[in-house]
Structure 1
Amino acid sequence: MHIMVFKTNLEDIGLVHHAGRLLNPMSGIHRWNVDLHDSDNILRIEADPLITPGLVEALLKNAGFECEELAD
């Protein structure tokens, strides 16, 4: 399992729920959360190695969200 961290524009609970409809069905994602109190609306995902940052970014960007992996 690995942890990925992204800067997003998921700025309210409605957007977080919409993103959840995309993330929850993905097998390999064990846990995820969004920090709405952080100015970068940080999305943190715990997932199997088969779930790559590029996959998460593409999934969310294709749905109209901003999503950029943050370096360690």
Structure 2
Amino acid sequence: MKTKQFKTNINCSGCIAKVTPFLNPLLGEKQWEVDTANKDKILTVPAENLDEKTLLEQVKNAGFKIELLTENK
């Protein structure tokens, strides 16, 4: 599955809980993850049918910073 990764400032379980209501409706439950152990707090999402603009807006609406890092296979 192809994924896209984004650098964020989502850095703890409380932050993940705050962003969940914004991401689950957009991506689906358990279809995204944040690596809070990584210094760049990497958000990984499936690339298929991703509306990147909406994703960026939703994360910002939740109060977090986000920028595209890479596309992976």
TM-score after normalising by structure 1: 0.81
The answer for unaligned runs of 5 or more in structure 1 is: none
CA RMSD, Structure 1 to Structure 2 (Å): 1.7
What SS does the aligned partner of 2:37 have?
coil
Q: Which has the higher contact order (CA 8 A, sep 6+)?
A: 2
User: Structure 1 vs Structure 2: percent identity of aligned residues?
Assistant: 33
Structure richer in helix, relative to its length: 2
TM-score after normalising by structure 2: 0.80
How far has the Cα of 1:46 moved from its partner? 1.5
Amino acid at match of 2:21: R
Separation of aligned partners in 1, 2:5 and 2:57: 14
* Structure 1 residues 11-51: Cα deviation after superposition (integer angstroms, max 9, x where no partner): 1100011111111122xx251000011000000011532x2
Alignment of 1:37-48 (within 5 A): 37-46=37-46, 48=48
Task: Show structure 1 runs of 4+ deviating over 3 A.
Answer: none
The answer for unaligned runs of 5 or more in structure 2 is: none
Aligned residues: 69
